[in-house]
Amino acid sequence: MQEYSEKLEDIYDEKLGRHLVASLSIEPGETLLEEQPLLVAPHWECDRLKCAQCLQESYVICRRCQVYPLCMDCSEHDAFECEFFASGAGSGIGKDLLIKNYGICALLKLLLLLEQPDQRAQCQILLERPVKLEDYRNEDGVWQEHEEQVVRPIMDSGLAEALPDQQLTSDALHAHCIRIDCSAYEVTARDGDTLKGVYVRGANLPHSCVPNTVVALDEQFNLKLYAAVPLESGQVIFTSYANPLMGTSQRQHQLRMTRHMECACVRCLDPTELGTHMSSMKCRDCSDGYAVCDLRGTGNWRCLDVSCGAVIPAADVHELLAEVGGALVDAKGELSVYESLLAQNKQLLHPNHFLLLDIKQNIASILRAAALMNSLNDPCKKLLARRVELCGDLLPICRAVIPGISKLYAIALFEYLLSFVELTELQFSEGDVDKKGYAAQLKRAQSVAKEALDLLQFEPENSAEGFLTERIAMELERIESDLMKYGKH
Ligand SMILES: [Zn+2]
Ligand SMILES: [Zn+2]
Ligand SMILES: [Zn+2]
Ligand SMILES: [Zn+2]
C-alpha cells in the first residue's frame, strides 16, 4: 500500500530520475506519503535464524514447508512463501539454504514477491530503478559481500530453475541486491536488532544532507513521511541517508559507499557547514582563527581570518582525523581515555568539530549509565553538571544541522532535560539553591520539555519516538507539579 498526499506530483528529470515535488504549499507536519514496506528482512551478513513471521530469534522450522524458521509464538508465516516450498516447487533447493545463509532472506523474499501477480506492480517500481552494474563490479566490500552471502548461495541452490520466468542470472541477482540496499531504511525489530526495511517510494527519494522531510517508522514498520519545514509549490521532496552529526567529507564518503552518489546540498557546498564549523580546525598561526576547507580549490584548510590566511594541508587534517578516529575505536568505553582525547584535541579542532562531539557523546553516555547504576556516589553533583554541560553543547549543533521539525534535536533536548532535572533536584535537596532559584530552573526544564514534545507531535504513537513522547510528557507533569508547589511567591 502506498498513499500520497494530493499536494505532491510525481515527475521525472535527467538529474534526479523519478522524484516528487510539492504542487501546492505544504505546512510542517503535513503527511506526504504513507507506505507499508515491500519487505523487511535481516541484513545480508545476518548469521542467526530469525522467525519468518515476526523476525525475532527463531527456534524451530516451519513444519509445513520445512524451510522457513519460526519462533515459539508464531505458527505460520507468509502463505505464498510457505506454499511455494511446501508444494515442492522449490524441491531442488537444499533444505539448509536458509539455515546456512539466512542473509539471503531479503532477496529470496523479493524473488517470491515477483512470482505473485498482485505484488508485481509494487516490485516493478523497485525494478525500474536503474542500476549500472559496472559502477559496482570489482568493488571490494559491497560486491564481494553480495556475491558470497547472497548471489552464490542462491545460484548454487537451484532456485533459478524453480523460477524460470524470471530468467535469473548472477548479474540480475546482483542488481536486485543493489536495488534492495538503495531502497532500504534501517528499522528496529522488537528485540532491538536492526533490520532492513525496503520501501519502494519512501526510501527512493533524492538525498540532501539538509532534508525537508522527516521519516517516521512505527512498530509494524509502516513508514510515514511528513514535511519538516514549510514547502512551496515546485520544491523537490528530499530525505537524508547520511548521519547529520558527521563532517562533510565523512558524510560524502558514507553516501558514496552506500548510495553511489555525490551530494551537492547547501551544507556540502558550505565550508562552515551551515555555520556549525563541524569540520573546522583551529588555526595553527593565529590564536583565535579557525581554518575551513577550501572546497572548490586546493582542498586544503585555510584560516578564515584574512589578515592571517594560514594554510593547513589537507593531508595533515586527514591524518589527524584518522588518528583520532582510531583512538576512539580503541577507547572502548574507558572514561579517562575519552577525557584525555577531548583535552588533547580541543587544542587542534573547532569546539563544534564532529570528532569532539563524538567524544563528548561517549562521555555523556558513560556518565548516564553510571548514574543509572548509581555507581558514582559522592562526586555526583560534579559529574551531573558535566553531563548537563556536554548535552548542552550538542543542542545548538543539532538545531542547526536539521532545520524545522527534527527528531535529532528532540532527542538531544530529551537527554539534556534528564540530566538538567536530575542536577537541579539534587542542588535543591542539598540546599545549594533556594525555592526561588529552584522554581526558575524548573521553568527552564518546562520549556525544554515542551519544545521536545512539540517536535515529536507528528510521530506515530506506536513507535520509539511515540514512547519517548510519553516519557517526556511524564517528566513534564512532574516538573509542573513541582512548579505548582515551589513556583508561587
Ligand atoms: Zn515469530
Ligand atoms: Zn512454512
Ligand atoms: Zn550534502
Ligand atoms: Zn589564522
- Residue 318, pLDDT above cutoff 70: yes
Cell of residue 257, nine digits: 559507499
How far is it, in rounded angstroms, from Cα 64 to Cα 70? Answer: 11
Cα 341 to ligand 4 centroid, rounded to whole Å: 23
Surrounding residues of ion ligand 2, Cβ less than 5 A = 62, 64-65, 68, 82
pLDDT band at 451 (very low <50, low <70, confident <90, very high): very high
What is the average per-residue pLDDT within 14-42? Answer: 93
Task: State residue 18's pLDDT score.
Answer: 83
Name 274's Cβ contacts closer than 8 Å, sequence gap at least 6. 210, 266, 267, 400, 401
pLDDT band at 17 (very low <50, low <70, confident <90, very high): confident
User: Which ligand lies nearest to the CA atom of residue 59 in the structure?
Assistant: 1
Task: State residue 358's pLDDT score.
Answer: 95
Cα 85 to ligand 2 centroid, rounded to whole Å: 7
Cα 247 to ligand 3 centroid, rounded to whole Å: 10
Task: State residue 192's pLDDT score.
Answer: 85
Mind listing the pLDDT tens digit for each residue in 197-210?
Answer: 999 999 989 999 99
Task: State residue 2's pLDDT score.
Answer: 64
How many C-beta neighbours within 10 Å does residue 315 have? 10
- Residue 21, pLDDT above cutoff 80: yes
How far is it, in rounded angstroms, from Cα 33 to Cα 185? Answer: 15
Mind listing the pLDDT tens digit for each residue in 373-419?
Answer: 665 555 688 888 999 999 999 999 999 999 999 999 999 999 999 99
Cα 294 to ligand 1 centroid, rounded to whole Å: 53
Cα 59 to ligand 1 centroid, rounded to whole Å: 9
Q: Which of 108, 3, 134 is nearest to 50 (CA)?
A: 108
Average pLDDT of the chain? 91
How far is it, in rounded angstroms, from Cα 215 to Cα 276? Answer: 24
How far is it, in rounded angstroms, from Cα 60 to Cα 139? Answer: 37
Task: State residue 112's pLDDT score.
Answer: 93
How far is it, in rounded angstroms, from Cα 456 to Cα 340? Answer: 36
Task: State residue 121's pLDDT score.
Answer: 86
User: Which ligand lies nearest to the CA atom of residue 63 in the structure?
Assistant: 2
pLDDT band at 95 (very low <50, low <70, confident <90, very high): low
Task: State residue 94's pLDDT score.
Answer: 63
- Residue 90, pLDDT above cutoff 70: no
Cα 354 to ligand 4 centroid, rounded to whole Å: 20
Q: Give me the percent of the chain exceeding a pLDDT of 70.
A: 97
User: Which ligand lies nearest to the CA atom of residue 51 in the structure?
Assistant: 1
Name 37's Cβ contacts closer than 8 Å, sequence gap at least 6. 187, 197, 198, 199, 221, 222, 223
Task: State residue 340's pLDDT score.
Answer: 95
What is the average per-residue pLDDT within 244-253? Answer: 95
What is the average per-residue pLDDT within 447-464? Answer: 97
What is the average per-residue pLDDT within 238-266? Answer: 93
Residue found under cell 577531548? 342
Name the more confident of 448 and 294: 448
